[in-house]
Structure 1
Amino acid sequence: MKPFLLSVTTCVLFCSAQVALAATMYRCGNSFQDTPCANQNYSKSMKAAKASNSTAKNGDLSPYQVDADCKQRGDAAKKMMWLRETGKTKEEQLERAEDEQTQALVNEVYNNRGTSLEVKNAIEQSCMQQKEQSKLAEELLKEAKRLKKNPYSPAGNVASEKSLATGKASD
């Protein structure tokens, strides 16, 4: 009876020790590590990631949700970084580029420093920021056209009051 009790106690202690020694894991892009990422924009603890999974399904944009076009651009950048790491020069990759967008991507890849994953994430992030800026500019143009047609509408006065309240003056 004593050996059985001793083995059960040992087993319980080992199982509880593993739980006590479990560290917080961080997701950095597509890799996992026990320390926060060097670039804090992509560092997310796995405990927080589990908690935010339900909000991400409801349309919340997390750093890991990327537009399909930006993801494709990031993947192309990662492949260019792999070629760069094997010794391909910027000029060689520019010669292979078919269009201006690919040439711009080559220039952007060679202007970024870091690993292929860091460069991919940086390019995806800049692509998403550019899309957001384009979306905001488009909304501003629509609003400007609407105000130009009817400058004395009550909605126009509300919009100008909101911009004054937030401290942003329209030029």
Structure 2
Amino acid sequence: MKLFLLNLLTCALLCCAQVTTAATMYRCGNSFQDTPCVNHSYSKAMNSAAKQANDTEAKKDLSPYVVDAGCKQRGDAAKKIMWQRQVGKTKEEQLETAQDSQTHALISEVYNHRGTILEVRNSVEQTCMQQKEQDQLAEQLLLAAKKLKQRNGSSGAMPEQPATSKP
């Protein structure tokens, strides 16, 4: 009887241990995964036995990424290029059908990336957002330079110092 109770207690403890080591699951669209969504969509944490210690970190991980509408369209175009790549179209074939230089650049960028369709799309969107941030920073610097130039120009010419004669 003692052996039976010992086995029963061991089984109960093992079952409880499995529940406490369960990972957090995230719902990303129609799929479930153990990491937060990386495809710039909101990831919703499902029921979990393990709670995160820091709530602010959890909110930061689960917050949706902000993607500009233009970058989102560029990411979608990259996804379509990747679809064509997966069905066997070569880079040259896609470059022939491209209408403008921006599409040429996007096709080259997509073919230079390795990974899944989502990874390539996310990379293209991230690159686009970084470029927009750099452009915005450059615009702010130019505006500040113009203001500084106007301020120096409006103060007039610097008064010349009188020439001192040397003895």
The TM-score, its normalising length taken from structure 1, stands at: 0.60
In structure 2, the residue matched to 1:158 is none
In structure 2, the residue matched to 1:33 is 33
Paired with 2:29 and 2:110, the residues of 1 have a C-alpha distance of 17
Unaligned 5+ runs, structure 1: 1-15, 57-61, 154-171
- CA offsets, 1:18-47, max 9 Å, x none? 97565213578996422578x8x99x8847
Query: Is the 8 Å Cα contact of residues 26 and 36 (structure 1) preserved in structure 2?
Result: yes
In structure 1, the residue matched to 2:107 is 106
Match of 1:51 among 59, 70, 80: 59
Root mean square deviation of aligned Cα: 3.9
Matches for 1:143-162 after TM superposition, within 5 Å: 143-151=144-152
Matches for 1:52-67 after TM superposition, within 5 Å: 52=60, 64-67=65-68
Query: Is the 8 Å Cα contact of residues 24 and 45 (structure 1) preserved in structure 2?
Result: no
Q: 1:113 to 1:144 in 2, by over 3 A?
A: same
Unaligned 5+ runs, structure 2: 1-15, 46-51, 155-167
Deviation at 1:105, TM superposition (A): 0.5
Paired with 1:101 and 1:30, the residues of 2 have a C-alpha distance of 32
Percent of paired sites with the same residue: 63
Amino acid at match of 2:66: Q
Paired with 2:78 and 2:97, the residues of 1 have a C-alpha distance of 14
Deviation at 1:51, TM superposition (A): 2.9
1:134 matched to 2:142? The reply is no
Paired with 1:36 and 1:144, the residues of 2 have a C-alpha distance of 42
Deviation at 1:148, TM superposition (A): 0.6
Q: Which has the higher helix share?
A: 1
Q: Secondary structure at the match of 1:117?
A: helix
Task: Say how many residue pairs are matched.
Answer: 128
Paired with 1:105 and 1:92, the residues of 2 have a C-alpha distance of 14
Paired with 2:105 and 2:87, the residues of 1 have a C-alpha distance of 20
Paired with 2:107 and 2:27, the residues of 1 have a C-alpha distance of 27
The TM-score, its normalising length taken from structure 2, stands at: 0.62
